[in-house]
Amino acid sequence: MKYVHFLTAFSFLTLNSTFGQDFMSEQSEVTDQLLNQPSSIQMVSGKSYDPPQANYYQRFVDRIPLHGARVVAESDGNNFVIPGLDQFEDPATFDATFPAISKNLAATVAEANVDLPVASEANVVWFQTNTHARLCWEVITTLADSGEPVSPTHMEAIVDGQTGDLLSQRQIDVNNYDPSDSTQAEWGIFPRIVVNNAMGISGGRAYGAAFDAVVSVGGGCTGTLIAPNVVLCARHCGAGPGSQIVFGDNLNGGGLVFRTVQSSFLPDGSGSLLDGGDVSILTLSSPVPASVAVPMRLIDQTNELEGMLCATVGYGLNGLGSSGHNFSSDGYRWGGENIIDRYGSPASGGGGSNIISTDFDNGSNNANSIGGSSSTPLQYEATTAGGDSGGPILVQLGGEWVIAGVLSGGTTSTSTYGDISWWTGSAVYRNAIESRGGEFGIPAPGACCFANGSCVSVFNDECDSAGGAFEGAETTCAPSPCPPPSTGACCFGSQCSELTPVGCANGGGFFVGLGSDCADNGCAPRACCLASGDCVVLLPDTCSNAGGVSDAADCASSSCAPPPCPEDLNDNGLVDFADLLEVLGSWGACGGCEEDFDGNGLVEFNDLLNLLSKWGPC
């Protein structure tokens, strides 16, 4: 895992290297000075968990920091370099109400949502949701060492200043995780596409290019778009407000699309890499159009994962299995395949019970690291590497690639043959993911109910766009689950309103019937069957007053339309000599022909008598 940069672009660039972190805390100052001064970027001191060899620039509105709007300029040994600027949208509106809850209460809320809190520091910040910003508490909590592999050292929380609700949360790890890191060597765990030699570099790039929903997160991790404005990532990546999301298969090329994380949600887990909770859900500053990327769905069960073909995609370090990644990345999105060898506890032992494991095979027993699995490599056999963390493990469901989990780590620092990769399963977090827009399983049609009581079988999105109520995938209309209609078209002349029968009567209208609606133009002139058997076109209420029944749009479709005349075989309106010749020409056995009027399979004397009885106009 690389250090995650928090990058953003700003409207006003005013640098002030002497400005410190003594942010405003008095309500009067906030209210009086808000928006009276231009916003600015100012150099600030690094926080306690920040790398020392960097400069930090913070966006302020008046003197209050805008959360997530901080630029990190890291040193390359000679100069401080800002790698790039994100497309950050300024808030359009501000709520200057100072937090009603105290700093201590905000810290209590934050600490109640983490494991092993030691101490917390809280500051007032602007927190942006969509285009609106309000004053909230930013709480940084220092965590005790959990004794678990690759665990967070700090937790950042945003607490609503008025309600005390937890609005966003991300974990922070001060460890650098370079290849010589003793913690990683001790545990044999490396938070983090290397492909087999036969697949080659071009093969890895070509495979990954197809997955437009897989994105670069924060410059050091990978994620997957699961809703137009939501990305699924790994908790240990530490992505949060201000983190940059990049869409495109080549980060060095053109046509890239950028978004900023506005908030992050951590559904579960202590923050340890293999506790089964290494999942984060990131809400973006604005939705991404389908022309850029179409969100991916997720698998809704894990019972049959073992033995399934899977794909892995990411922007991390890349290379070939014989030599590993050599700690280099070309900026392309790579991809490959593997077989899921285990779901449950990590194949190496220990950890949680929600871990998916694969190994990197090359045909030798030495590289077949997970016992009981096949050592035969796939055509596109691949493993993962640093920078792929948070990326998806994908499986086939109904012919579609869907997400089964997010990458947490692996067993080697170089990702050579024999490497084991671990993913945290996503199905157990279905409720949290669905509540933020993610979709599980492959859609199936179901019953869609309309206000007129009618039922049709369509997909959920089709039902919603038609104004219906979707009863659920695979539900049926036989029997209909739809409640009976309580309203119908009420006619006032040719004008129509949908009312209850009582409401229509009270208004002096003519009630067409329960379930009828104005969309069918039910109050326009239509067929009216009179007691005489005649059919005329009248307004529905005029038809009713004349003692008629209006049951169709036109007389040809109405119940009083003249009965059909099957004996008029040439449809000239007459039963005549031409029809007689057709009957005689079909005499004898005739399966289903129209001259067999009585349907007994023969054209015979009875059919001839039937035709002669209808002789004349028909």
The CA distance from 384 to 359, in Å, is: 10
Indicate the helix (H) or strand (E) that contains 613. helix 605-613
Q: Tens digits of per-residue pLDDT, 556-595?
A: 777 776 666 888 888 788 888 888 888 888 888 887 788 8
Least confident of 5-14, 176-185, 331-340: 5-14
Q: What is the pLDDT of residue 18?
A: 26
Q: What is the mean pLDDT of residues 401-407?
A: 94
Q: What is the pLDDT of residue 211?
A: 94
The CA distance from 117 to 154, in Å, is: 9
Instruction: Enumerate the domain spans of the chain.
Output: 27-172, 182-434, 488-557, 574-617
Look at residues 584, 613, 193, 267 and name the one whose alpha carbon lies nearest to residue 438.
Answer: 267
Confidence band, pLDDT 50/70/90 cuts, at residue 126: very high
CATH class of the domain at 27-172: alpha beta
Confidence band, pLDDT 50/70/90 cuts, at residue 17: very low
Q: What is the pLDDT of residue 348?
A: 62
Q: What is the pLDDT of residue 563?
A: 60
Least confident of 223-227, 377-381, 505-509, 519-523: 519-523
Q: Tens digits of per-residue pLDDT, 516-534?
A: 878 766 688 888 888 877 8
Q: What is the pLDDT of residue 487?
A: 85
Alpha carbon 450 to its chain's center: 26
**Separation in Å, CA 554 to CA 496, 513, 524, 527, 564:** 19, 18, 11, 5, 16
Q: What is the pLDDT of residue 125?
A: 94
Confidence band, pLDDT 50/70/90 cuts, at residue 425: very high
pLDDT > 90? residue 283: yes
Q: What is the CATH number of domain 182-434?
A: 2.40.10.120
pLDDT > 80? residue 188: no
Confidence band, pLDDT 50/70/90 cuts, at residue 41: confident
Q: What is the mean pLDDT of residues 341-352?
A: 75
**Average per-residue pLDDT for the chain:** 80
pLDDT > 70? residue 178: no
The CA distance from 357 to 340, in Å, is: 6
pTM: 0.63
Q: What is the pLDDT of residue 331?
A: 84
Q: Tens digits of per-residue pLDDT, 131-145?
A: 889 999 999 999 998
Confidence band, pLDDT 50/70/90 cuts, at residue 87: very low
Q: What is the pLDDT of residue 544?
A: 80
Look at residues 24, 59, 1, 30 and name the one whose alpha carbon lies nearest to residue 260.
Answer: 59
Higher pLDDT pick, 371 / 97 = 97
Cα pseudo-dihedral 213, 214, 217, 221, rounded to 10: 170
Are 100 and 134 within 8 A, CB to CB?
no
The most distant pair of C-alpha atoms in the chain lies apart, rounded to whole Å, by 113
Higher pLDDT pick, 100 / 386 = 100
Q: What is the pLDDT of residue 395?
A: 93
Indicate the helix (H) or strand (E) that contains 279. none
Other C-beta atoms closer than 10 Å to the C-beta of 365 total: 8
Q: What is the pLDDT of residue 77?
A: 58
